Amino acid sequence: MARRNAPRAWQRMLSGRRLDLLDPTPVDIEIEDIAHGLAFVARWNGQTRGDWPYSVAEHSLLVEQAFTRINPAAGPEWQLAALLHDAPEYVLGDMISPVKGALGGEYGEMDRRIGEAVHRRFGLTVRVPAGIKRQIKLADQVSAWLEAIQIAGFSEKEARGIFRVPAPELCDGLEIRLRPPAEARHAYLERFAELIAARESI
């Protein structure tokens, strides 16, 4: 029997699911909740130029594009892993690196558990191969660099001292998009559906 005064560790989702943040299960995860949450979570704590926040949903779409450019032979399974790389932030929010460092291992452990539950929910391996993880991380760094110098107020000189500078060919043609949350949510769900269909057709 749960103690009446025990702190609540779950969040109610718009789908009606109740996700336990400390012990998440795949059955309580829905892509609509992920897309909705990520579309309303602002990167850079909202400190970006433009009339709309730059959402984690937009960032995730850009990372998946960059990942596919880095590894053109990657199948839809790994493209899907790239798209979902920040999925836990739909309930944890997007914490900037200095805050994550200050919080230590507890945040990372919660992020890991939710990420694993997301992977199980959508039929992805929990243990992503090291090579794929490195490529997704590189794609994340490409996105962070572009965001920093285009919308987050960093000069190139300042950014070079903080962020990894990607090869120019990895950045050419990639676009930072700022649009209303409803549009970002739709784009995220649309790309998810495309990758699921592509995976099922193999």
Contacts of 131 (CB under 8 A, 6+ apart): none
pLDDT of the residue at 107: 81
Give me the count of residues in the chain.
202
The structure tokens listed for 80 are 């899907």
Kindly report the number of other CB atoms within 10 A of residue 8's CB atom: 8
Instruction: Give CA separation, 122 vs 79, 81, 159, in Å.
Output: 13, 10, 36
> Full-prediction pTM beyond 0.75?
yes
Residue 5 confidence (pLDDT): 62
pLDDT of residue 1: 45
Collect the ranges in the chain with pLDDT lower than 50: 1-2
